[in-house]
A = this chain, B = another copy of it.
């Protein structure tokens, strides 16, 4: 079939949704973002890309800390609120019940099934965005999100964003085991 060049500036892949926490002007603030990725494993580091104009950025630069919190489906309304409303205009410090780990300026959200506290290790300017790379100092969850001691996506119920149509989606069903299902094809080629 013929390929079409979309000539779009927005790509379409399933983006994980997170709430980035930081202390800004001395108060906790949260921003909903879907542009982040693991950057390295040892030590564990995560990269988040924020538009330069966000209220959050100066707070991360000042304290050199931030958090990445994964909301569940039932938090969709509050999550979206943190994507709609800027901390420049509205104080979001009371939206969630918070907790802290070893970093005292990386606020995390009690209701989130997973929260990571991060220490800023690098910043990269990319056009109108700033990429903050943080070393993960703690990963917090609760017993109720685990099965046999491991995080269970069925219990976490993470949110996924689609662009450019901008919808939140749930996770579906397991398709196959990774680093495993490809063995079939490997065997065929050998």
Query: Interface-forming stretch among A21-29, A36-44, A56-64?
Result: A36-44
Residue from B14, B41, B45, B126 within 8 A of A160 (CB atoms): B14
Select from chain B the residue with minimum beta-carbon distance to A160: B14
Task: Please state if B78 and A49 are interface contacts (CB–CB under 8 Å).
Answer: no
For the complex formed, measure the closest distance between the CB of A190 and the CB atoms of chain B, giving whole angstroms: 9
The answer to whether B127 and A124 touch across the interface, beta carbons within 8 angstroms, is: no
Residues of B within 8 A of A90 (CB): 189
Given known pairs A84-B182, A84-B186, the reply for A142 and B1 (CB within 8 Å) is yes
Question: By the criterion CB–CB under 8 Å, are A181 and B80 in contact?
Answer: yes
The answer to whether residues A127 and B43 also contact, given A11-B38, A11-B139, A101-B5 and a CB cut-off of 8 A, is: yes
A21 to chain B, nearest CB (A): 14
CB neighbors of B among A135-175 (8 A):
136, 138-144, 146, 150-151, 153, 156, 158-162, 164-175
A-B residue pairs, 4 tightest by C-beta: A80-B182, A81-B182, A170-B172, A172-B172
Interface residues of A (CB under 8 A from B): 1-16, 18, 35-47, 49, 70, 73, 76-85, 90, 99, 101, 110, 114-116, 122, 124, 126-129, 131, 133, 136, 138-144, 146, 150-151, 153, 156, 158-162, 164-186, 189
